[in-house]
Amino acid sequence: MSELIESSIDQAVELAESTANAEKVNLLGLSRAKMEAFFLSIGEKKFRAEQVLKWVHHHRVDNFDDMSNISKSLRERLNETAEIRGPEVVSSHFSEDGTCKWVVRVASGSCVETVFIPENGRGTLCVSSQAGCSLDCSFCSTGKQGFNSDLTVAEIIGQVWIAARHFNNVPAKMDRSITNVVMMGMGEPLMNFDNVVDSMDLMMDDLGYGLSKRRVTLSTSGVVPALRKLSEVSNVSLAVSLHAPNNELRNSLVPINRKYPLDQLLDAIHHYMNSLTDSKRVVTIEYTLLAGVNDQPEHADQLVVLLKDVPCKINLIPFNPFPHSGYERPSNNAIRRFQERVQLAGYNVTVRKTRGDDIDAACGQLVGNVMDKTRRSERHIAARQL
């Protein structure tokens, strides 16, 4: 861990030095270690990092002149060398059920989406990590948009910053609108490893958003080497997008399974969970139910056997339709039968409520506006026209 911290400091120093005579350093994207390194690199004391982090993340200030406990001379220097710049909010959408969606433009020119879901005194913010997604899961509208770019730390944590500004979210350890953050938006978080880890660190830092490790969740489709690496640097909650109980079916639904099949994924899940000091924590298994595809009794039975040694809770997600997906949502009866069959085996099984579908903010519906570098979106459109 000390080597990782030293590496972060070295990177921040290099960043500050390289941008001293070029573009300004965006302080919104600096973790505590990198913020301290930035101030040391300009000849200031480390405690300045604590002051600025609080102004940025607790008070959501983007103007150095508003930082009243910082000297005028330092504010002037910061105005010359640094900035606090979040992603541009292109549009905001508000659902009848209280769900909020922001469409934000990132540096690559693409737009990504962030969703806030309120429910029973809990406010969950779903954050994107990439513009598009490189994994192309067959039932996800984000994957059909292709892939453009990884988001920077400022673009990831900036989504939390934007939402906190909207709700006038109060500082850490007090009542607040945003109680949980899930890395379940556009993109595969583990494919943007370093930026996602730094962002989650800011979410959990008391100088950032003060969320507990139980209230920050990373969801992955199964990038096995990166999941193993995550156990060395983080202890956030883990969710795994499973969606199929056997390799043959999962290969078609979640293509990364062809590279990292279920036995490797389950081994990596065990490795991560065993690395946590809290033995009571469990992994959340996400399973999107597709009518006639993975929602049959035999699939429920296979899922029971597959997860028999995995400390988990299972979250069933009825498919949320999008144009030309080729899939349909199962009937309520089929969803209930699947749930009951798995529950009878002793598992904790919930069915995720569909929220924000009237503003296309439900799970699997996020599309944004991706300037696709992969030409995958062209291929999907061409295939639909045949």
Give the catalytic positions in this structure. 113, 363
- Spatial neighbors of 110 by CB under 8 A, at least 6 apart, are 131, 132, 148, 149, 368, 369, 370, 371
3-state secondary structure of 46: coil
CB contact at 8 A, 286 and 258 = no
* Contacts (Cβ under 8 Å, ≥6 apart) of 352: 315, 316, 317, 318, 363
Please give the Cα distance from 134 to 132 (Å, whole number).
Answer: 7
Please state whether beta strands 100-105 and 88-94 pair in parallel, antiparallel, or not at all (unpaired). antiparallel
Strand, helix or coil at 68? Answer: coil
Q: Is 239 helix (H, G, I), strand (E, B) or coil?
A: strand
CA 43 to chain centre: 35
Helix, strand, coil share (%) of the chain residues, nearest 5: 40, 20, 40
From CA 366, how far away is CA 127, in angstroms rounded?
A: 11
Contact 351, 339 (CB under 8 A): yes
291 φ/ψ sector (left φ>0, alpha ψ -120 to 50, else beta) = beta
